């Protein structure tokens, strides 16, 4: 297979624009997913009986093919970005909710009781003790959700939402391998870069986590 380096050189600008659209389409749903998962996860810990049904629903959603979800939402949101982002948000829940629940579960009973005994109220304990301790596990979930969202969102081009999915579909219509390959490689690079950024964020947020011994 021949790669048309000349085409790539001529199109770096367009490819870059597509990459930006792509990452925005992919990561906004993860952000929304996180905003939903935090209260959902808290509720599931507060009312244990809630967790099993919530988990089942989010897993069932994950099992629905994306195309089917697009078709469903087109009826309501038309050919807009929302039609791509809503399904991706729903998908992210199946990873994020369990991780929020597990993250909060990582707070040991002695720590919880010590906090109570020191005079933390429920909300203050949540914000100052429980959530910070849950951060590593929550971010681990965000990494999985972000990477899978970056690869899934390519299909958004089916309803004309652009991004690097455009180059893959366009390339296959024209049987132009270079364009397909360039877009695919970019998607992988975006995923790797996002993951690396998240790892750094986690290290900055949790200098205390065992994975990294800070010499002091």
Partner 1 sequence: MITFEGVTKRYPDGTVALDDVSLECPTGRITVFVGTSGGGKTTALRTINRMVEPTAGRVLIDGGDVRERRPAELRRGIGYVIQHAGLFPHRTIEDNIATVPYLLRWNKKKARAAAHELMERVGLDPSMARRYPFQLSGGQQQRVGVARALAADPPIMLMDEPFSAVDPVVRAELQDEFLRLQAELHKTIVFVTHDIDEAIKLGDRVAVFQTGGRLVQVDAPEDLLAHPADEFVAGFIGQNRGIRTLGFAETGGLRLSDDAVFAGSADAADAAGLDWVLVVDADRRPLGWARPADETGPLAEARLVPVGATFRAGADSVRVALDAAVLSPAGLAVGVDETGAVVGTAGGADLLAVPTHGLAGRAAADSAAAEPADTPERADAPVKGGAGD
List residues near partner 1 by CB under 8 A. 108, 110-111, 113-121, 124, 129, 132-133, 135, 206-208, 210, 213-214, 216
Least Cα distance to 156 among 166, 146, 144 occurs for 166
Closest to partner 1 by CB, 9 vs 213, is 213
Please provide the distance, in angstroms rounded to a whole number, between the alpha carbons at the two ends of the chain. 54
Closest to partner 1 by CB, 24 vs 124, is 124
Closest to partner 1 by CB, 63 vs 204, is 204
Rounded CA-CA distance 130/197 in Å is 24
Closest to partner 1 by CB, 116 vs 172, is 116
Least distance from partner 1 to the Cβ atom of residue 169, Å:
46
Least distance from partner 1 to the Cβ atom of residue 110, Å:
4
Closest to partner 1 by CB, 62 vs 120, is 120
Least distance from partner 1 to the Cβ atom of residue 187, Å:
35
Least distance from partner 1 to the Cβ atom of residue 100, Å:
17
- Specify whether the CB–CB gap between 98 and 137 falls below 8 A: no
Residue 208 DSSP class: T
Rounded CA-CA distance 44/99 in Å is 12
Least distance from partner 1 to the Cβ atom of residue 96, Å:
21
For residue 162, what are the CA distances in angstroms to 10, 61, 125, 175, 208? 19, 24, 44, 19, 41
């Amino acid at each position: 297979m021949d790669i048309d380096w000349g085409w790539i050189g001529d199109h770096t600008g367009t490819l870059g624009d597509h990459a930006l659209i792509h990452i925005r389409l992919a990561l906004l749903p993860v952000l929304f997913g996180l905003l939903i998962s935090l209260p959902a996860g808290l509720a599931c810990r507060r009312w244990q009986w809630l967790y099993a049904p919530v988990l089942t629903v989010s897993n069932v959603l994950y099992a629905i093919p994306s195309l089917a979800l697009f078709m469903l939402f087109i009826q309501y949101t038309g050919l807009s970005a929302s039609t791509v982002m809503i399904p991706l948000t729903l998908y992210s829940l199946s990873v994020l909710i369990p991780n929020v629940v597990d993250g909060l579960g990582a707070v040991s009973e002695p720590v919880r009781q010590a906090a109570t005994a020191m005079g933390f109220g429920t909300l203050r304990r949540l914000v100052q003790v429980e959530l910070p301790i849950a951060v590593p596990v929550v971010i681990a979930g965000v990494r999985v959700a972000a990477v899978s969202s970056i690869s899934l969102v390519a299909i958004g081009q089916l309803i004309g939402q652009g991004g690097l999915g455009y180059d893959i579909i366009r390339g296959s219509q024209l049987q132009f391998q270079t364009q397909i390959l360039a877009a695919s490689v970019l998607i992988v690079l975006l995923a790797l870069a996002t993951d690396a950024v998240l790892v750094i964020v986690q290290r900055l947020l949790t200098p205390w986590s065992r994975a990294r011994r800070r010499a002091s």
